[in-house]
Amino acid sequence: MRFRPLFAATLFGSSALLSALFALSCSSSTYPNPVLTFNSGQESDTFNDVDHYVIERVDANSNAKELLNTKKLPKTFDMGNTGTYAFVGTAYDSDGKVVAVGRTLMASPGDILGAEVPMFFARTDRATRPNGSFANALKQNPVAAIYSYNYVWFFDDSSGNNIKTDAYSVAVWEQYSPPTQYSSIACAHVPCALKNVIVMGGVYVLVIGSDWALFIDTIQSLGLEFKLPTELSAWSDITGGRVLPGGDSSALFVGGTRPTNPTKALLGFSKVGNYSYLSTNTARAGAALLYEQDFGIVLVGGSSEGAGVERMAYGSSGLADSFSDVPYPADPVEGAALVMEDKTHLLRVGGKNTDGSKAPTVRIDMGCTQNCAYEPVPALDVELYNAQSYYDIVTGETLVAGENTTGLTQVYRYVSSGFVAIDFPDAQKRINALALELPNHQLAVIGGTDPQDSAASRTALSVVAF
């Protein structure tokens, strides 16, 4: 099959913000400099406790320059017409605590002359809804991914015969309807039984069903069947696992994180869509997963056999070729998350024991070489299931998202003294939603249903600033 370019050809440039604003701006000296506008989306109380705001300009090397320190945000703010920057707005309360943050995507102001660039401020202590919403209903446990470093691209196979798609841009904070040829994608087999979507290099998309996979090259406008890797007996060996982004726009697909059907299978994808097969030493289900530069790939728990901890560490030439057991006892805890405490220690947070009871938080010393033992940390205990941590390298903050026993979405911020719950107002409470880390250093929670009405879909995004 052959596809036309997805969304717009201009999306495949180096600047996602430039791409999103391309149709709204002109690169001519006769147009004024682009300006920032500021908003709190659908919430009326975001700025109620704000004492002052700081607006900064940040270059590609993370060097920040303060441009404005004010008690009141201006209606617009001139972005200039040189350089390439992201713009960051930070709102502080009277005690100097950060309560809300807004951040644009990286762009060259000289390329978007005449444009208005919205800066959406998300709270750090509670979920906040930006303007707009998805056009289509998002079911429980939605399947979505970040496309072109800009769009939350949502896939829905509820019709059984094809996949309907919808998108939302976090560059301009608006819903974006994909072109007709991409609004409905025919499945290779029926029923679709959609399981996972993986984006590589920002523009290559792998859509995976229970027994089929489609690779979409949005640069060449091609859709091709993706053959089952020879190391797998079926796609069901890995489907339902978590997908985490890696460095250089790569992606990691880990089967052992899914809640049932233990597996050893992992697939690593390069930014151009090539894959490599990896295998853990122990088959796992519901394992806790971390994929960060300081630790490499770490899996903990999800099996009553084998070592409790496995690691594929980074070396001078990249990731090692295989996993190594860290000699901790077998750990059957399922649905926990891993949080970086420091450069040596991890916390296993949340999850459940084999009897269904809440698992305690434990500290893991990744430098341990013999007679390793999990160290309970009762002060950091939290009840959270189907959990995953999200670490933001720019802010150094960690958010952990998961569910309670009824499937209600929960998010916690990790601080050294414990885990602080992020508040979800009643209009944003969700059953079985999906958390996605956004390219502007915010965490989005999408989909799910109203806990008071299981038929009512949550179509707006809920966003928390790191």
Give me the pLDDT at residue 178, please: 84
Question: What percent of the chain lies above the pLDDT cut of 90?
Answer: 83
Is the pLDDT at 436 greater than 50? The verdict is yes
**Per the domain annotation, does 91 fall within a domain?**
yes
The more confident residue out of 245 and 1 is: 245
Overall number of domains in the chain: 1
Domain range enclosing 65: 9-123
Confidence of residue 17 (pLDDT cuts 50, 70, 90): low
CA-closest candidate to residue 350, choices 436, 277, 274, 412: 412
Q: Are strands 309-312 and 296-300 parallel, antiparallel or unpaired?
A: antiparallel
**Per the domain annotation, does 71 fall within a domain?**
yes
**Per the domain annotation, does 30 fall within a domain?**
yes
- Secondary structure letter of residue 126 according to DSSP: B
Give me the pLDDT at residue 4, please: 32
Residue pLDDT, tens place only, 375-396: 999 999 999 999 999 999 999 9
CATH of the domain at 119: 2.60.40
Question: What percent of the chain lies above the pLDDT cut of 70?
Answer: 94
Sign of CA dihedral 389, 390, 394, 397: negative
Q: Which amino acid would we find at residue 372?
A: C
**Per the domain annotation, does 82 fall within a domain?**
yes
Q: Which long-range contacts (CB under 8 A, 24 or more apart) does 23-27 make?
A: 24/112, 24/114, 24/115, 24/116, 25/111, 25/112, 25/113, 25/114, 25/115, 26/113, 26/114, 27/110, 27/111, 27/112, 27/113
Mean pLDDT, to the nearest integer, of 5-27? 45
**Per the domain annotation, does 350 fall within a domain?**
no
**Per the domain annotation, does 101 fall within a domain?**
yes
CA atoms of 444 and 127, how far apart (whole Å)? 9
Is the pLDDT at 309 greater than 60? The verdict is yes
CA atoms of 431 and 410, how far apart (whole Å)? 10
**Per the domain annotation, does 430 fall within a domain?**
no
**Per the domain annotation, does 442 fall within a domain?**
no
